[in-house]
Structure 1
């Protein structure tokens, strides 16, 4: 009765009564066995569908590493090499050269080296892209055939030559 009183009502009602506490605890354990399989499937699905979309690459790698560590108690732990390749497959096309360079090296990285190298590559990619600005002009057109043209008259050839000369001086 003591063990039964500490369990949630919804769970308590789904477990049949037993003669001994040991049998009752076995029934409780059986209620959670199937859910651990579902949990493992959810984690594996999350691992294979995880994609890096920007932000901090260190967080992305640690998130994948954390998810794989949750699989270890279920005897589904992944080897370090597989984890490294899993991270590489989650990276976008910008990292393709980086991944090829890793695959051509004879040595294998651990998770710490992977994080350090990915952070360095992220910084290199950010610096090579540089800053950019977009120019948007207001280009409204009047589609009414009967309307008179609006706005400035076209520049004459003389005015264009002066403005070009001024630009050349600048």
Structure 2
């Protein structure tokens, strides 16, 4: 500390006021650093096919830098940030990790992710080699089958069939008028729908 600062702080009554004054002077830089590091940490996303070891080490170093600036995070939040930054190819690992409630340090998580990535690379090569060496046989194309023709049902009494409409309903209503009595008006050979 410079001599001017020492002489200024000698006039203060207690250590707390000195500490508050120093935080006011130099604390803004740590706040800016916290913001920049946390922004980079929360926006981190590993590209597909990248090395998971380098990516997770970078994230762990950012977490440690934040802790050095008195910005501590919960362990579960740290693990979730790392897992969320992984590409979709690690989705099965993430499901297994969460379903089995695996507890490990961040370095332990790093080791598990590196071994998972190496297994995925060897399995991917085997699958590619297998598909190249054993092509699928082609299925024969099905020929178009002739359309089956079904016999049409005979027309029902009362005009149900192709000729639907007023002509068939008129005939049905004329035959039904014979010998009926209207319940509404009480007239013979008359129906309610024909009432005025």
Range class of TM-score, shorter chain:
0.5 to 0.7
* Corresponding pairs, count: 119
Report which stretch shifted further, 72-81 or 31-40.
72-81
Q: Work out which of the residue numbers 82, 87, 91 in structure 2 matches 1:87.
A: 82
- The SS at the match of 1:91 is coil
1:118 aligns with 2:105: no
User: Mapping of 1:70-81 within 5 angstroms?
Assistant: 70-81=65-76
Q: Work out which of the residue numbers 37, 42, 67 in structure 2 matches 1:43.
A: 37
Q: Is the Cα–Cα contact under 8 Å of residues 64 and 87 in structure 1 kept in the other structure?
A: yes
Q: 1:33–1:97: structure 2 CA closer, same or farther, 3 Å change rule?
A: same
Report the RMSD for the aligned CA atoms in angstroms.
Answer: 2.9
Q: Is the Cα–Cα contact under 8 Å of residues 52 and 91 in structure 1 kept in the other structure?
A: yes
1:3 aligns with 2:26: no
- Aligned partner of 2:182 in structure 1 is none
Deviation at 1:21, TM superposition (A): 4.3
Q: Is the Cα–Cα contact under 8 Å of residues 57 and 119 in structure 1 kept in the other structure?
A: yes
TM-score (norm 2): 0.52
Deviation at 1:18, TM superposition (A): 7.3
Deviation at 1:77, TM superposition (A): 1.5
- Matches of 2:22 and 2:70, distance apart in 1: 21
Q: Is the Cα–Cα contact under 8 Å of residues 51 and 90 in structure 1 kept in the other structure?
A: yes
Larger helix percent: 1
Structure with greater contact order relative to length (CA < 8 Å, sep ≥ 6): 1
Report which stretch shifted further, 112-121 or 71-80.
71-80
Q: Is the Cα–Cα contact under 8 Å of residues 51 and 91 in structure 1 kept in the other structure?
A: yes
In structure 2, runs of 5+ residues without a counterpart are 11-17, 129-196
- Aligned partner of 1:137 in structure 2 is none
- Aligned partner of 1:149 in structure 2 is none
